[in-house]
């Protein structure tokens, strides 16, 4: 059997035998950290053998994780990145200096510890987190930037004691699990704040700031709000980079800073990253030259996928992972300002979220192609089409994302614009696979 065949069998085991939020939703979410604690104890506490930065938030945490990783890499550090979910390849979740964890390691890790899994009965996410921690420890990383999966307080990544915590922002998402008010959601995210560990909050909001301030006070943790010190103003955008002027405390700090990422939300993410880098504890240090080089080479250094990514030209085809109300509001606000003859939107979502929160921000003049993402949680395209009609949006339902995109391509002229989104899982079906 080839290594690729063994790898596929290993993934089949992980996907079929274990509860996986990506596929089945809330039923896979564990309400305590006992499983990940048991796994890491059996593995020799790998999360205690490397220094880390912990990143939570409703939107932007993946981009912030990748930006921090790129800056640290450019400064010469060996950097591990843990992110979720993946788009095309499971190994996207675990990277060191932009290189995916090897198939051989994934195969051997699962094979070696299958008896442990049968004893602990962990979820897919818990095994993946334990795998990442073990890999980073074995690789001897100088820094690991760890993205929270869901929430914070009860997320499996929350057994780490990081050198720095970052919470990008708070919006409505996963309300059935995290709470139906912003303060309740903030309370779950604030659960990553640790005793004596400094924390950066990306955005100041009157309903959530008191939650973070109180948790930081209880934890004797220094706290700073990035948007009170940094302002990133977008100047221009090209096919490869977006250029910002950055102000720190009202004074121009970085002129014409190039970021190898696009999207209306990246200015806020950039502010969070700059504040986090300013608060990096010793012995880490990222000189300005490394910061500039890292952000300019973000995609190449870290293999960032699915964020305002260009898939084709003439017509321009964009995909983006915005999937909750705040993210969709920003994305659609940007999209309608882009020049085109006609706007086509391929959209799908999951069945455990009310699609009205997304649809009410989508432009009425676009032509819609409704599709169900290819996962058990996918919302039926006809149901989504009916919900969209209630919001004054018109289009047709398609049997798959691929068919919906093909239909949009057929109908679009070279001067049109096609946007693909609504769910990370829709984007996962259209982003090109990255070869290793």
What's the token pair of residue 384?
Answer: 């989504």
**Alpha-carbon Rg of the chain, whole angstroms?**
21
The CATH number, out of the four listed (3.40.1190.10, 3.40.50.300, 3.30.70.3150, 1.20.120.1200), of the domain defined by the range 3-302: 3.40.1190.10
Homologous superfamily of domain range 309-428: Mur ligase, C-terminal domain (3.90.190.20)
Task: Give residue 146's pLDDT.
Answer: 98
Task: Give residue 434's pLDDT.
Answer: 65
CA distances from 430 to 88, 303, 402 (A): 9, 16, 7
Yes or no: say if 369 and 422 are a contact pair by the CB < 8 Å rule. Answer: no
CA distances from 151 to 105, 185, 370 (A): 28, 8, 29
The Cα–Cα gap between 408 and 370 comes to 11
- Residues (pLDDT < 50) of the chain are 21-22, 24, 174-176
Task: Give residue 173's pLDDT.
Answer: 56
**Residue for token pair 């990442």:** 132
**Domain residue ranges in the chain:** 3-302, 309-428
Task: Give residue 157's pLDDT.
Answer: 97
The Cα–Cα gap between 266 and 97 comes to 22
The Cα–Cα gap between 72 and 283 comes to 12
The Cα–Cα gap between 5 and 209 comes to 50
Question: Which pTM value belongs to this model?
Answer: 0.89
Task: Give residue 174's pLDDT.
Answer: 47
Closest CA to 240 of 300, 187, 285, 188: 300
């Amino acid at each position: 059997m080839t290594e690729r065949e063994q790898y596929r069998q290993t993934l089949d085991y992980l996907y079929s035998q274990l509860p996986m939020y990506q596929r089945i939703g809330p039923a896979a979410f564990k309400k305590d950290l006992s499983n990940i604690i048991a796994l890491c104890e059996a593995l020799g506490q790998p999360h205690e053998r490397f220094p880390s930065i912990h990143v939570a938030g409703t939107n932007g945490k993946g981009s912030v994780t990748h930006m921090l990783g790129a800056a640290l890499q450019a400064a010469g550090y060996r950097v591990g990145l843990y992110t979720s979910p993946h788009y095309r390849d499971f190994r996207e979740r675990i990277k060191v200096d932009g290189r995916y964890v090897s198939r051989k390691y994934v195969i051997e890790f699962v094979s070696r510890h299958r008896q442990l899994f049968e004893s602990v009965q962990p979820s897919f996410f818990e095994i993946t987190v334990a795998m990442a921690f073990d890999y980073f420890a074995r690789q001897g990383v100088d820094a690991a930037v760890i993205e929270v999966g869901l929430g914070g307080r009860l997320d499996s990544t929350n057994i780490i004691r990081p050198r720095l915590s970052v919470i990008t922002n708070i919006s409505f998402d996963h309300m059935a699990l995290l709470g139906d008010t912003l303060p309740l959601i903030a309370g779950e995210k604030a659960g990553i704040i640790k005793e004596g560990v400094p924390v950066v909050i990306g955005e100041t909001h009157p309903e959530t700031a008191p939650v973070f301030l109180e948790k930081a006070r209880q934890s004797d943790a220094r706290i700073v709000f990035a948007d009170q010190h940094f302002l990133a103003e977008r100047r221009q955008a090209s096919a490869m980079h977006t250029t910002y002027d950055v102000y720190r405390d009202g004074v121009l700090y970085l002129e014409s800073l190039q970021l190898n990422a696009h999207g209306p939300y990246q200015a806020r993410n950039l502010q969070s990253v700059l504040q986090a880098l300013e608060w990096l504890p010793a012995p880490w240090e990222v000189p300005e030259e490394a910061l500039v080089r890292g952000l300019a080479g973000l995609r190449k250094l870290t293999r960032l996928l699915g964020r305002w990514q260009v898939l084709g030209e003439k017509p321009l085809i964009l995909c983006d992972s915005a999937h909750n109300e705040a993210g969709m509001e920003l994305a659609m606000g940007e999209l309608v300002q882009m020049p085109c003859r006609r706007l086509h939107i391929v959209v799908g979502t999951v069945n455990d979220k009310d699609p009205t929160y997304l649809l009410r921000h989508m432009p009425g003049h676009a032509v819609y192609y409704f599709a169900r993402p290819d996962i058990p949680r996918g919302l039926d395209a006809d149901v989504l089409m009916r919900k969209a009609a209630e919001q004054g949006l018109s289009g047709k339902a398609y049997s798959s994302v691929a068919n919906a995109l093909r239909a949009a391509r057929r109908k679009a002229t070279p001067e049109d614009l096609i946007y693909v989104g609504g769910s990370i899982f829709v984007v996962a079906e259209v982003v090109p696979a990255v070869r290793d």
